């Protein structure tokens, strides 16, 4: 019985050590991203595989906000944001980076909110009224 307990304990311990090593070796993308974290991710270098993964995450994150904005804009009576057709996720990321790089931008806000603020400033709808 003692041997079985020791074997199980050793197996669990070795699995935890392996899992911790694997997790540490993988790029980490947080679930609650602040604007500061996103600007850092978007500014990653393309020279390493981790940097490329972070860039792809940046473009995907901003693309997700873009798609949500388009969907909600179609349902709104007077949309505040009119995203132009034909722009790439890279171009939308550039809009975000320019906006978020300003000293007046609160980078502690949720990243999605700051992306929306950047879109509102760059692509306002001109509703007659």
* pLDDT 10s digits, 18-70: 334 443 455 555 568 999 999 999 999 989 999 999 999 999 999 999 999 99
Q: Residue 89 class from Cβ within 10 Å (0-12 exposed, 13-18 middle, 19+ buried)?
A: middle
Q: What's the CA gap between 87 and 66, in Å, rounded?
A: 10
In the chain the domains, ranked by start, together with CATH numbers, are 30-122 (1.10.890)
What's the predicted TM-score (pTM) here? 0.73
Local confidence band at 75 (pLDDT 50, 70, 90 cut-offs): confident
């Amino acid at each position: 019985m003692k041997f079985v307990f020791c074997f199980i304990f050793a197996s669990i311990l070795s699995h935890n050590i392996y899992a911790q090593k694997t997790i540490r070796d993988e790029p980490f993308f947080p679930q609650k991203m602040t604007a500061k974290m996103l600007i850092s991710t978007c500014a990653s270098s393309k020279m390493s595989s981790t940097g490329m993964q972070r860039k792809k995450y940046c473009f995907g994150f901003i693309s997700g906000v873009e798609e949500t904005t388009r969907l909600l804009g179609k349902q709104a009576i007077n949309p505040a944001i009119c995203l132009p057709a034909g722009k790439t996720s890279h171009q939308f990321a550039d809009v975000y980076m320019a906006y978020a790089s300003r000293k007046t931008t609160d980078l502690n806000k949720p990243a999605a909110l700051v992306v929306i603020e950047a879109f509102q400033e760059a692509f306002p709808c001109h509703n007659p009224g």
